[in-house]
């Protein structure tokens, strides 16, 4: 099952969101992410969080229409997005798209990015989408294939440690069983030479950022 979570950050390219969502997707709003749903005319199945960003009357209207409201105290140890991710995982999601998780506040942006590295979410694919940019964490041993267009940018950034056994195919600057050093910028701004590119990783963690031309 695939889940789509609306977070409370910046949501770019509103017009493209309806093209992303599929009829069978589970829609979850993480607290203020529900304002994005409202602007897009999308009814979430679940709203979760401390609900401090929402108008009570507006929240009640969603509850009346069948949306499940899951409320937490304001003084809690998790962000609303972490709670939403856990809920999606508990309900059986094996792929989660997160919209509105980037921008607005750097502390929240960094925390949202690092959530995908938690061992708790190691069995689920988390895709953070921001307009024409997509971020996915690749765990070794594993591989990811990106579908796009010739000229798209694909950057890879090691997380927490060096990345070992990195092989890149379908890109202007290929690698074969190479090492990318943590804190270095060697993997930035590679370019697709065809409509697909594949990243292979033997050990470590890699943020893979696909930036579409349009």
| pLDDT score of 173 more than 90 | yes
Residues 88 and 17 in one domain: yes
Q: Are residues 119 and 171 in the same domain?
A: no
Based on the fold, state whether residues 118 and 77 are members of the same structural domain.
Answer: yes
If asked whether residues 83 and 170 sit together in one domain, one would say no
Range of lowest pLDDT (6-15, 85-94, 163-172)? 6-15
Strands 46-49 and 26-30, sheet pairing: parallel
For residue 64, the model assigns a pLDDT of 79
pLDDT band (50, 70, 90) for residue 9: confident
Could you give the CA distance from residue 54 to residue 93 in angstroms, rounded to a whole number? 26
- At residue 104, the pLDDT reads 76
Q: Is the pLDDT confidence value at 202 over 80?
A: yes
Task: Supply the DSSP string of 179-212, one letter for each residue.
Answer: EE-TT--TTTTEEBSSSEEEEEESBSEEEEEEE-
User: In 3-state terms, what secondary structure has residue 163?
Assistant: strand
Q: What pLDDT is stored for residue 54 in this prediction? A: 72
CATH number of the domain where residue 48 is located: 3.40.50.10240
Which of 96, 131, 166 is where one domain is finished? 131
In angstroms, the CA 189 to CA 184 distance is 13
Token output for 202: 């033997």
User: What gap in Å lies between CA 100 and CA 9, rounded to an integer?
Assistant: 4
pLDDT of amino acid 57: 74
What CATH number does residue 168 fall under? 2.60.120.320
CA 81/CA 48 separation, integer angstroms? 9
Residue-range definition of the domain harbouring residue 21: 2-131
Confidence class for position 96, pLDDT limits 50, 70, 90: very high
Give the number of domains in the chain: 2
Contact 9, 100 (CB under 8 A): yes
**Statement to judge: residues 124 and 176 lie in one domain:** no
pLDDT higher than 90, residue 141: yes
Listed residue (187, 188, 170) closest to 179, CA to CA:
187
**What SS3 class is residue 30?**
strand
Percentage of the chain lying above the pLDDT 70 cut:
99
For residues 96 and 134, give the distance between their C-alpha atoms in angstroms, rounded to a whole number: 12
Q: How far apart (Å, rounded) are the C-alpha atoms in residues 4 and 78?
A: 19
**Residues counted in the chain:** 214
pLDDT at site 151: 96
Confidence band (pLDDT; 50, 70, 90) for 127? very high
Domain boundary among 70, 104, 131: 131
- pLDDT higher at 131 or 25: 25
Let me know whether 117 and 188 are in one domain: no
Residue 152: HSE in the Cβ half-sphere, 13 Å Cα cutoff = 22
Q: Which region among 53-62, 131-140, 150-159, 176-185 has the lowest average model confidence (pLDDT)?
A: 53-62
């Amino acid at each position: 099952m695939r889940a789509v979570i609306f977070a409370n950050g910046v949501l770019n390219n509103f017009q493209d969101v309806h093209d992303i969502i599929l009829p069978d997707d589970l829609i979850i709003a993480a607290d203020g992410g529900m304002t994005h749903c409202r602007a897009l005319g999308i009814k979430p199945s679940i709203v979760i969080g401390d609900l401090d960003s929402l108008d009570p009357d507006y929240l009640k209207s969603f509850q009346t229409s069948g949306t499940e409201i899951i409320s937490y105290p304001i003084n809690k140890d998790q962000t609303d997005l972490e709670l939403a991710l856990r809920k999606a995982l508990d309900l059986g999601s094996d792929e989660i798209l997160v919209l509105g998780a980037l921008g607005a506040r750097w502390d929240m942006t960094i925390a949202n990015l690092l959530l995908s590295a938690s061992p708790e979410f190691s069995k689920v694919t988390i895709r953070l989408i921001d307009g024409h940019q997509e971020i996915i964490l690749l765990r070794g041993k594993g591989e990811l294939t990106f579908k796009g267009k010739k000229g798209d940018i694909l950057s890879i950034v090691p997380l927490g440690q060096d990345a070992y056994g990195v092989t890149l195919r379908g890109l202007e600057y290929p690698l074969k069983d190479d090492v990318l050093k943590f804190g270095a910028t060697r993997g930035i701004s590679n370019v697709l030479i065809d409509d697909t590119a594949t990243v292979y990783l033997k050990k470590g963690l890699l943020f893979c950022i696909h930036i579409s031309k349009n």
